[in-house]
Structure 1
Amino acid sequence: MNPLVSLIVTSKNSARTIEACLRSAREQQYQPIELVVVDNASSDDTPQIARRNADIVIDKGPERSAQRNAGIGAARGEYVLVLDADMVLERDVVAAAVEAAQGGAAVVAIPEVSFGQGFWSACKTFERAFYARDPVVSAGRFFSRQAALDAGGYDETLTGPEDWDLSMRLAGSTPIAFARARILHDEGRQTLPDLFRKKYYYGRSLPAFVRKHGSAALKRLNPARSSLIAGIGEMFKHPLLACGMIVMKSVEAAGGTAGMLDARPRDISSIYRATGT
């Protein structure tokens, strides 16, 4: 008999996307599954949509890490797949993730393909295509529920790098495995101010993340990623998208740096210790 897999979806005012997410989860080829939605006080129709489509609906805040931990605690599955409400799953995602886990992987990452509206969303799609299977950039979404509980779950003091943090703790020295199926990520309509604000918010957690993981964290934060460098030829084929991606990454880097500098001074010092400066 197949092990039960719990799909945990976190949401916040996600009425535009969550129904497609839950429908794709319910239509998985693999069975049995259960759907757990952890909402954060949404003011739109998200809770009603969740109650129509999910097996368990919880209201929990204040941040995504706490939501995910609540979902893991409420789930009954042997394995959990952690999702955002703007994701749509190919029909064989769960089956492929279970296959990888039963093959010995402690943590399974699922390649993402972005889509959205407008030029900056196209640039984000172009960028993500370079590191869809990059083990340095990717974080695992599928793992043993008990292993996550034993590890203490997601670090609720982190917002942004919490995926990397838990993946690194669960995987240890073993590489992250990649499922042979994909998640489609609905980016909506991206704007540069939105991207700046998002990375600023995430940047406030970066000093704490570096303090926990040292040089391994800095490797993940390095913008000169080998997967991007390997794709230079593709950039020459699409110069407009490549130029847009460079502008977009510069804005994101500025936002992340501003957030990092706005963190407490003792957190900033951890980065200098990790780099030996």
Structure 2
Amino acid sequence: MSTLSLAARDSVTMLRRNLLHARRYPSMTLNLLLTPVMLLLLFVYLFGEAMSAGLGAGADRSDYIAYLVPGVLLMTVGSTTIGTAVSVSNDMTEGIIARFRTMAIHRGSVIIGHVVGSVLQAVMSVVFVGSVGVAIGFRSTDATVLEWLAAFGLLVLFATALTWIAVGMGLVSPNAEAAGNNAMPLILLPLLSSAFVPVDAMPGWFQPVAEYQPFTPAIETLRGLLLGTGIGHNGWLAAAWCLGLAVLGYVWSTARFNGDPK
């Protein structure tokens, strides 16, 4: 059997292991899902009328729902990857990795299993939160099939990039609690983006911070694809952030995993 075949086989085995863990211990996934769902409901039903004023004259709660949901979908991706950091840290500190190192398995399959499993969980989480958005009134009637496919591709690419970063955070954390704390920026950054209010409505000194961080270009690109609004330079910025974070996370994670077994 070739090296590539062995790597694929072992990666599928590790993926199945991680998905079984997620199924047997769903509390982490459910807890991470509660944050975007609760924020979605909170901002729509408690602050929706007030927040819609920031969208311009004549905007109402339905307009704010359309504005809010794409941002919450990207926030869901960020919150899901926190579970990845915790899961990787658990593996590194509980001795299972040391056991894997003594077995005849492909070395990189352990990390690949975590990454692919996390991306799949992120996609399923986005589908769930998106269903909640549709239930409260979100509609995307203007998007074409090609735009829906592009939106899905953006979500997968963004989830992959953040997952590699989360894997690195899990590898450098001494325990699961530290891993969860280290990964908190992945759920806090959306709060400092255009997820809830337009960048133009923010204080002038803060606008560059919100505009050029990873989440805002991705959110604006997703809005443009689903709602038919302008994307402008956000498309290539989102792609650049995704590719940059993915490469950085991959190099960091593989170097840490191969060089420091903890």
Higher share in strand: 1
Higher relative contact order (CA 8 A, sep 6+): 2
Higher share in helix: 2
Q: Say whether the fold is shared (TM-score over 0.5).
A: no
TM-score, normalization by structure 2: 0.30
